[in-house]
Structure 1
Amino acid sequence: MNAILLILIMIAMGAIIGGATNSLAIKMLFRPYQAVYIKNWRVPFTPGLIPKRRKDMAEQMGRMVVDHLLTPEGMQEKFNERGFQKQVIQILQREAKGWMHSKRSVADLLKQYAGVTDARGKMTAYSEEWIDKKLQMFIYHNQEKSIDEMLPPEWKISAESYFDSFAARIADKGARYFESDAGRVQLETLLEKFLQGKGSVFNFLSSMFGNDKILDKLQPELVRFFRDPSSAMFFKGFIIKEWEKLLDQPVWKAGAQLNTKSVARYSVKALNRELTVLDRLDMPIAEWAPSYEEHIINKWIPELWDQVQPALSAKLLSVFDYLELEDVIRERVDTFSVGRLEAMVLAISGKEFKMITYLGALLGGFIGAFQGLFALFFS
C-alpha cells in the first residue's frame, strides 16, 4: 500500500512539475515585458524572449511576408484569375450602381471630397482653356502646312457636297429678303445713296419718275435675278473660289485671323447645348445617370477592367518596390505593444500552448512513475 501511494505521489509531483515548467516557459516567451533590475544587476531572462527580440522578429516578419507571402508574382497570378476578375467587376458594378442612384449632385460630391466650389464655372473655364491651348499648339506645330494638307479627304468631300444646297440657300434667302418690306427699305436707302451727287441727269430722272416707280421696276428684277437657276450656279462658283483660296492658305495665316479663345468659348457652349454636361453638374445624379445604367454596368465597366487589369498586373513589381512593404511591415510590427503581440500569438496558438502544458504534465507524470518504480526496485 505504501508503495502504491509513493508511486502516485511521484506521478503527481512529476505532472505538476512538468506542466508548471512548460507553462512557465510559455509565459517567459512574453513576460516580463520589461527588463527587471536589482540595483545595477539585470535579472536573467528578463525581459521575455519576444520583447527582447522584437526588432529581429519585426525584420524577419517583414522579410517573410514580402519574400514568401505577399509577392508580386503571387499577386499577378491572383489578378489573372478569372474568378478574381469577375469579383472585381461585380464590386465595381455594385458601387457604380449605387452612385448612379444617388440623390446628390456631382457638384456636391466634388465639394465634399475634393473641396471644389463653383464646379460649373471651374469646369467651363478649364474646358475653354484646354481647347484654347490645343488649338494654339495645333497651329504652332503645323504653321507651315496648308489647310488643304491638314484636312482629311473625307472632310473636304463632305464640305464640297454642301456647295449646291448652300448656293441654292443663298439665292432663296436673297429672293425672300428683297421680296420683303425690309428688303424694299434697304433698296430705297441704296438708291438714294446712289443718286446723291450723280449729276443733273440722274436728279432729273429721279424727280421725273420718282424713287417709288424706280423701286417698283428694280425690286422685281432683283427678285427675278435671285430666282434664276443661273444665280445659284453663280453663287456656287463664288463659294468654290473662296473655298479653294481657303485651302491654299497656310495654317499660320488662318490661325492669325482666328480668335482661339472665342472658338474655345463657342465650342464649350455648343457641347453643353448638345450634351448638357455642365447643366448636369448641379442636378441630382439619380435624375440623369440611370438612363446610362445598362450601358455603363454591362459594357463600360467590363471593358474598362479589361483595359486596366493588364496594366495593373504589369505594374505590380514597380508598385511593390515603391511601397517598400518590408519596411512598412517591420515598422508596424515594431510599434506593436508586447501585450498586443502576446494577444495575437495566443489568439492563433492558444490551444497549442495548452496542449504543450498538458503534454509537459503527462511527461512529468510518466517520469514520476518511472522514478517511483526505480526507487522501489532499488530500495
Structure 2
Amino acid sequence: MVQPITVSTLSSHIAQILERDELLRDLWVTGEVSNWKRAASGHIYFSIKDSGATIGAVMWRNSAVGHSWLPDNGDQIIAHGYVGLYPERGSYQLYVNRIQPAGRGQLYARFEALKAALADQGLFAQERKRPLVSVPQRIGIITSADAAALRDILRVLAARWPLVDVLLFPTLVQGVDAPRQIVQALAAAHHYSTTTAALDTIILARGGGSIEDLWAFNDEAVAYAVAQSAIPVIAGVGHETDFTIVDFVADFRAPTPSAAAAAAVPDRTEISDQLRQRQRLLLEGAFRQIDVAQQHISQLQGRLRRIAPQRQLDQRRQRLTDRTERLHNDYRYHLHNFRQQLTSATARLQALNPHSIL
C-alpha cells in the first residue's frame, strides 16, 4: 500500500507543479467577467468564463489601484497573470495583475453612452460655460504631485505670467481610486476658495496615455463635479487627439497640460507689446490734440490781431471821454440858463409884490 500523504502535502505538490509550468506562470486569458466583487480591503474577486468553462480570479489591491478602467459583469476582457493554487479551498485560480477590455469597442460604447446622457442633461451646452478670467491672481491645479504634467504647467505659468499664485490640490490621475480623489480635490479647491483666498481658475490635467489610462476622466462623478464647479475649469488631459468626458464638461478644453496653462494666463510679452502699443497710441493722440490746440490758438491770435481789441478799447474810451465832456458842457449850459431864468423870475416877483409898491 502506498504511504498516504496529508492534504497539505498534496496541495503543496500541486502548487509546485503549477509554479514550474511556464505557460501557467505568465499568460493572458480572455473571457467574460462574472461575480465581480470588490472587497473592503480593495482586493477584487471575480470569475472569467466562456461557453465551456469558468475560472476564479483575484486581483490584489496594489494591482487594482493602477487601473483607471475596471470591467463590470458581462464585459469581455483580457487578463494577464499566473495560475496558482488556493490551498484553503483546494482550487486553482488566476492571479491577475493586468486587465483590459477585449477590444476597444466596449470602452467606446461606454464613453458614447455617458456622453449622450450628459449631453441630454445640458452639461455640454455652450451657454453654461463660464468665461475665463483674463488676468487671474490665483490658480488651482488638480493633478498628480509627481507628474510631468505638473512640471509642464508650472514651467509655462512661470514663463508667461510669473505674478500668478499657484496652489496644488494633488490627486491620483489613474487607477481605480482616481475618480474619487479627483472629486475630493475639486471639493478641496472650492473649500479653499471660499474660506481662504478666491481661486480664479482651476486646471484639471494629466499627461497622455491609452484610453484605459485616461478613463478616470470619463467617470460620471468626475463629470458632475466639474460641471457643478463654481470656479471656471480648464481641462488639459492627454494629447491633442485624446478626448474625455471632462473635455466636454469643462469650461475650456486645452489639448495638453501645457496648453491649459497657456490658456489660463496672459503672455507677459504680449501684454508688454500691447502696453507699448497703447502708450504709442496715447502719445500720438496727445500730440494730435496739442497740434489741434495750437492751430486753434493761432487762429484766435489772428482774429485778435484783425479785430485789434486795444484799438477798439481806446476808441471807446475816447468816445466815452467825449460824451462825458459834452454831458458836462450841456449840464453847465442848462444850469446857467436855469439860473438866469430863476433870477429874472425872482425880479418879476419882486416887482409885483404889493409891499414893495407901497
Give the shorter-chain TM-score range: under 0.3
- Please say which structure displays the higher CA radius of gyration: 2
Taking structure 1 as the reference length, the TM-score comes to: 0.18
Query: Higher strand share goes to which structure?
Result: 2
- If asked which structure has higher relative contact order (CA below 8 Å, sep 6+), I would say 1
TM-score, length basis structure 2 = 0.19
Structure having the larger proportion of residues in helix: 1
